[in-house]
Structure 1
């Protein structure tokens, strides 16, 4: 599963700059619709495209590995009981 780290990136940038970073600001600065940003931040399994990932990398000045991370897919509990 791919997990997006948008909330963490916003918190880190806000800490470095000594201010609060909002979804509205990220939307305005990147051109990514606020609804899309909200889905990236909150919806498990949300699928986005490489242009959006590129815009986030540019805005936060980080490599792709900082924007998204791969997590092992949880295994079904019933499989482990056999």
Structure 2
């Protein structure tokens, strides 16, 4: 599964700049709709496109590996009974 680190990036940027970064600000600066940002931040397994990822990388000044990370899927418990 891919996990997006949007909330962490917003917190890090806010800490560095000594201010609060809001979803509305990220939306205005990147052109990414507020609803899309909310889904990226809160919805497990949300799928987005490379343009959105590129805009987030540019806004936060980080490589793609800082925006998203791969997490292995948890083992299915029904498979362990074999």
Q: TM-score range by the shorter chain?
A: over 0.9
State the TM-score, normalized to the length of structure 1: 0.97
Task: Spell out the pairing of 1:21-36 with structure 2 (5 A cutoff).
Answer: 21-36=21-36
* 1:1-82 → structure 2 map (5 Å cutoff): 1-82=1-82
Once the two structures are TM-superposed, the CA of residue 81 in structure 1 deviates from its matched residue by 2.9
Give the distance between the partners of 1:49 and 1:25, measured in 2 at CA.
Answer: 20
Q: In structure 1, the residue corresponding to 2:75 is in which secondary structure?
A: coil
TM-score with structure 2 length normalisation?
0.97
Q: RMSD between aligned alpha carbons?
A: 0.6
In 2, Cα distance between equivalents of 1:23 and 1:57: 15
Q: Secondary structure at the match of 2:46?
A: coil
Runs (5+) with no aligned partner, structure 2? none
| Alpha-carbon distance between aligned partners in 2 of 1:56 and 1:3, rounded to the nearest angstrom | 14
Aligned residues: 82
Runs of 4 or more consecutive aligned structure 1 residues displaced over 4 Å after TM superposition: none
